[in-house]
Amino acid sequence: MTTNASTSLDEYVPQSPPGRASLRQAIPAEWTKFWSVRSTGWSLFALVLATIGIGALSTNALSGQPFPEPDAIRRILVGFNLGQFAVGVLGVLFISAEYGTGQIRSTLAAQPRRHNVLAAKAIIVGAVTLVVGEFLSFVTFLMGHLILSGSASQVSMSQTGVVRVLVESGVYLALMALIGLGLGSFIRNTAGAIATFAGLILILSLLINAIPTSIQDAISRYLPGEIGATVFAVSTPPRLSGVPTF
């Protein structure tokens, strides 16, 4: 009798659903969440408009010059300097919006392990921006190639360093999105995280000019804004000619 009662009680012990807090379960949930908010579409639209639109304007102006441009790829990809802010904002909003609306409580109720939630968000936003970034870098280059065809500044994929620039441009955009995600998860406030991201890209690059040159050379290589200036060009910009590279 005792044995039967014990067995009967064991049958009603609640069991935790398998995989409830795993990373595998978190990724599909975050994927759905990523595409269900309007900020994703608007941020990607701003990215496309900045990279292709500004690149077309800049390249078209370059095509009328009678002398060759030393680094035409920089002019073609000039829109990526603005596009990095679009992906940074995308990364920030992907997590800070949940803190602003209180939805993060539901997220953590379903996935109590915070590191799984953050890892899933990083995988989603990193993968999407990497794919979109690579696509836009090659599309923007092909557009520039057609515009500059027959001009003094014509470019081709076979030129030294061009493929490297195109690949690194997409990787750089993904890195900016992940930085935005990290700031959003740390600050947990949309306006504050976006302001911090903008300051990290712009203000630090300006403030570094006020410190001794020896210190500039030591830290410039780690600033996102300075890295971007070398990524979107075949040659190193003159103002960064003394900065060591990786």
- Max Cα distance, the chain (Å): 100
> Taking 60 as the threshold, does the pLDDT of residue 90 lie above it?
yes
Q: What is the value of pTM for the model shown?
A: 0.82
> Taking 50 as the threshold, does the pLDDT of residue 13 lie above it?
no
* Number of CB atoms found within 10 A of residue 203's CB: 13
Q: Which residue has the higher pLDDT, 156 or 176?
A: 176
Q: How confident is the model at residue 232, as a pLDDT?
A: 82
Distance CA 167, CA 94 (A): 25
Query: Would you list the domain boundaries of the chain?
Result: 21-236
Confidence of residue 21 (pLDDT cuts 50, 70, 90): low
Distance CA 194, CA 179 (A): 11
Q: Where are the alpha helices (DSSP H) in the chain?
A: 2-10, 23-36, 38-48, 54-63, 72-76, 80-101, 104-110, 114-148, 162-187, 190-198, 204-207, 213-219, 224-231
**Nearest in space to 176 (alpha carbons), one of 139, 143, 223:** 223
Lowest-confidence region among 46-60, 105-119, 165-179: 105-119
At 108, list the tokens.
């953590």
Mean pLDDT of the chain: 83
Confidence of residue 239 (pLDDT cuts 50, 70, 90): low
Look up residue 211 and give its amino acid.
I
With H, G, I as helix, E, B as strand and everything else as coil, classify residue 232: coil
The average pLDDT across 76-105 equals: 92
101-138 tens-digit pLDDT: 888 888 888 888 888 999 999 999 999 999 999 999 99
At 111, list the tokens.
């996935």
- Cα 207–232–137 angle (5° rounding)? 135
Q: How confident is the model at residue 134, as a pLDDT?
A: 96
The average pLDDT across 56-69 equals: 85
> Taking 90 as the threshold, does the pLDDT of residue 220 lie above it?
no
184-209 tens-digit pLDDT: 999 999 999 999 999 888 887 777 77
> Taking 90 as the threshold, does the pLDDT of residue 49 lie above it?
yes
> Taking 60 as the threshold, does the pLDDT of residue 100 lie above it?
yes
